[in-house]
Every structure is written in structure tokens, then in C-alpha cells.
Amino acid sequence: MKTVEYMDAIMLRRRIPSDYALAKALGVTKQTVSRYRSGIGLFDDHVALRAAELLGIDPGIVLLDIYAERTKNDEVRNVWERISAGFPALLSMANSKREPLSAW
């Protein structure tokens, strides 16, 4: 997902009625949320962590998506997107403790 999609998901999940209220929940200014909406700005790492917390998801997922969105290099973006696509499966395996990560 991209920054704007994360913001919309947070608003839906948390029943946040406005960008102003979203800004307060994320710990940023209303102007920052406006920049995110216009595509001028993207979550920094701290805001990505807060977004993950608000959504109840692993912060690694949000960070990987934001890194992919942030980069200007298509080759690097493709790498981040591939890592992001496999991350949920890796988390599932780690959480099931069937196979220790050290076995990788």
C-alpha cells in the first residue's frame, strides 16, 4: 500500500472523521497530512511505525511499503516490493515457530 492508502485505512479502521483528526492520531500536523494527500510528502519511519500501530499490523509491512514508495530508482523499488510481498509469509513462519529463522 502507499501512504494515502494507509491513511485511508487508518481512518476507516479507527473511524477517524477528518484529516485533522488523522493528523492528531499520527502525531503530525494537518499540513503534513495535506502534503501526504497531495503526494508531496511520504511517511517518515516514525510515522510509519505509528500507522502500523493504529492499524494493528507489523510495522515491517508499513516500512517496506514506504521504502518502496520513497525510492526514485525503479530497480530498487522492485527489490523493496519483492521483499514486501514475501514479508507476511516470513512473519507467519516466524510466528508459528515451526522453523527457526536461523535455519534460513
Mean pLDDT of 84-92: 78
**Is the Cβ–Cβ distance between 26 and 51 less than 8 Å?**
yes
Most confident of 43-52, 75-84, 85-94: 43-52
Grid coordinates representing 72?
Answer: 526514485
Per-residue confidence at 84, pLDDT binned at 50, 70, 90?
A: confident
**Of 38, 20, 37, nearest in space to 28 by CA:** 20
The string of pLDDT tens digits covering residues 10-66 is 999 999 999 999 999 999 999 999 999 999 999 999 999 999 999 999 999 999 999
- Where does 3-103 sit in CATH, by number? 1.10.260
Confidence at residue 95, expressed as pLDDT on a 0 to 100 scale: 75
Question: What pTM does this model have?
Answer: 0.81
**Is the Cβ–Cβ distance between 5 and 42 less than 8 Å?**
no
Who contacts 54 (Cβ-Cβ below 8 Å, separation ≥6)?
A: 10, 13, 14, 25, 26
**Of 55, 56, 29, nearest in space to 44 by CA:** 29
